[in-house]
Amino acid sequence: MAAHTGAEIAVHPLDRDRLEHPQPLFAPFEIVPSVPAVELAEGGEIRFGEIRLRVLHTPGHTEGSVCLIAPDDGLLFSGDTLFAGAWGRVDLPGGSAEAMVASIARLAELEDALAVLPGHGAMTTIGRERAWMDLVRSGGRLFA
């Protein structure tokens, strides 16, 4: 039996194939196929000791994009869905502007004080992003 060398890989079912059969479009390195051990389904919960994270399915960047919310701690881990001043790319395989609009509208319903920790870039809050998120929600489209 192989030694456990790290955390288990988790993925939403709609992105499972991307891990099992990676297509490294722009990666300057090989991406090794992986078999996820944990399914990140809408409304599911992940626990790390005292930390409790709830899964929000937020497609747009990919079909299976998710955000993880720690309601007890006032944190949202937004991955590639929401950044400070922007949303994630929708122009790569699996991306959808329409799905991203719905995901941004959903996140706009969260509390202003919720801290947002994106997959990369600066930390922000829902309140700081509210103005443009409300424009996306009310206009039903992403804007340039």
CATH number where 89 lies: 3.60.15.10
Task: Give the three-state DSSP class for 48.
Answer: strand
Tell me, what's the pLDDT at 3?
Answer: 56
User: What is the tens place of the pLDDT at every residue in 87-124?
Assistant: 999 998 899 999 999 999 999 999 999 999 999 999 99
- Angstrom distance (rounded) from CA 131 to CA 129: 6
Task: Judge whether 63 lies within some domain.
Answer: yes
For residue 36, name the pLDDT band (cuts at 50, 70, 90).
very high
Residue 62 forms part of a structural domain:
yes
105 domain residue, yes or no: yes
Residue 48 confidence (pLDDT): 82
Residue % of the chain over a pLDDT of 90: 79
Structure-token pair, residue 71? 């309601």
Alpha carbon distance 60, 136 (integer Å): 13
Range of the domain at 113: 42-139
Backbone phi, psi, residue 122, to 5°: -75, 150
Q: Characterize 57-91 residue by residue with b for buried, 16 or more Cβ atoms within 10 angstroms of its Cβ, and e for exposed.
A: bbbbbbbbbbbbbbeeeebbbbbbbbbeeebbebe
63-77 pLDDT, tens per residue?
A: 999 999 998 899 999
Count of structural domains, the chain = 1
Report if residue 78 sits inside a domain.
yes
